[in-house]
Structure 1
Amino acid sequence: MNNLSESPRSMKRNLLFPVLSLLLLLTVAFSLTLGKYPLGLTDIAGFFLHKIFSAGNMEPEQSSLLESLLFEIRLPRILAAILIGASLAVAGTAFQAMFVNPLVSPSLLGVLAGASFGAALGMVFTKNWITVQILTFAFGFLAVLISVGIARMHKGNTILLLVLGGVISSALFTSLLSVIKYVADPYNQLPAITQWLMGGLSLVDGKSLLAAGIPQVAGIVLVILFSGYLNALSMGDEEARSLGIPVEGIRMLLIFLATLMSALTVVLAGMIGWVGLIIPHVARMLVGPDNKILVPASALIGAIYLIVVDDISRMVFTMEIPLGITTSLIGIPFFAIILRKAKKGWN
């Protein structure tokens, strides 16, 4: 009887990943058609057939225009949305499992606050964009190191101390960011900092995408491989230790991977909030709490979600809305809904 009751659930899970993968491909294809210069799916298909197989007749001017639109503008932006959405969703899933709390997100240990400060610092003191990106990444990691360092200075509940360390680190770098904004040139530097903090994909280029994308993909794959340990950590430290799991080592490794992915999202697109909080809940509603299934599902749903939200940001109004604002406007009401559910418990 038990096997019969579990069979439909297993079939549903087996179908979920092909459906999500197909939905991701369809979302990418549809997003390629959107923009100030609209394209049809037939135009895009004809271009790729001509480019790969030399099929069909296409004028050189049209081919050059489509190549510029697709490979230099739209495709890098879509790939960045996939990477950022998947990275934040996976990082959020990992944090929620590690800290046994459905209301935490990748910003818990201060990585986003530290990365934002690093970006603002770079914009004030240098005009080299690569330097700005390096500082963004470095200060994101520094913020998490401060959180972990504060937790290790005291004895007690590790999870609670890490949360308190994250609160202190976030407050520190938020204050330092305010100082940077105060001393920045109000005509040039301050508007650039403000725009960057609102998040967006308009500045993504191929080189940045490649440099950030490789470690992000590696981080996602490693968290998926360690998802079995997340199941153990979500039961609590004592239960995990009783299973012979090196709790501290695994937790630090997963924090490192989540920090790596989260910091690189800020490098690519500035502050993109709420994705790492709400997407794990959406995935959990679909597949349940097993992190072996939940983590890859979160990655796919996060990628689809951010592509759609970016399309909304650039197409709804005549001017592009910063992506971070759109994710917040969508995430806040959703968070209010799941908060009510969280009061009843979380499994």
Structure 2
Amino acid sequence: MASQPAPIVSTSTQEMQGKPRRSRRDTSGSRRGETLAAYLFLTPYLVILLVFWIFVTFYGVGLSLFKLDIGFTAPEFVGLRNYSIIFQQLAFINDSDFWVSMINIIKFVIVVVIGQTALALVLALLLQALIPRLRGIFRTIFYLPAVTSSVAVSLIFLWFYTPQGVINYLLSLLHIPGPHWLEDPSFALPAIMLLNIWTTAATFMLYFLAALQDLPLDLYEAARVDGAGRFHLFTDITIPLLRPAIFLVVALGTIATFQMFDQAKFMTDGGPLRATLSPVLEIYNTAFRDNHFGLAAAMSVLLFIIIFIVALIQRRLIDVNN
């Protein structure tokens, strides 16, 4: 039987077959270089994270196991006694500053997170409806409270909330007697809630504005063809598509509001009658006023655990929604 001639492979074919291999090698080397460069750029951040977050966290946990009053006695290892003291106070919760502060912060978180999320969404919708030229101007105006020092904003609102301040003056024009905002336990915490909502909504407005700009316009056009009005467009399309952004804003807002300190410290110092006492302020007072650093560290660890659990639950809800 005559042997068949071997297939002739042209030089161009060989070059074409060889190119992908060289391309893959080049791509692999390029990716390794990019990865190495990325890690080099991240190194300063990772070092700072290691020193100022991870190390400090473990140091705080270790400190909570000691009885420590700086400048008076040597540190004494007490194990879990500081935690035992905190949990024993649950039996007399109204007499415990820490647990009263936890009740205050739960109220604060619920109201502020709902308020700032709603206000941020409204502001984002208003900006989205404006022409691009005006959108940039008003975005800057709305964002000013977020970039202003919280202490400066607190001082401004201190003047607003005085009996002769702007708010009570506006109420007097409507023949409504203005309350003593920061001196009445019934109004002090709501007053700080309003301040916090006003200063934080602008930051979350940017999250919603970015999400709104990514919404597919063809869905709205199809819904309008089917006769849907603005209300149904908002409830049936906008809100469902914004759900991931809403959950993100709620999660970030919850973590931030649990750590409220500046406003309570500079406006009321936790008063009147502990109405505005927050956990972070109580931790500060326990450490630097009462000189019980070990007990303050134990409070910090408990607050961290609570925030961590809440964040995990919210993360789980976000994953389920997605």
User: Given the two structures, how large is their TM-score scaled by the length of structure 2?
Assistant: 0.31
User: Given the two structures, how large is their TM-score scaled by the length of structure 1?
Assistant: 0.29
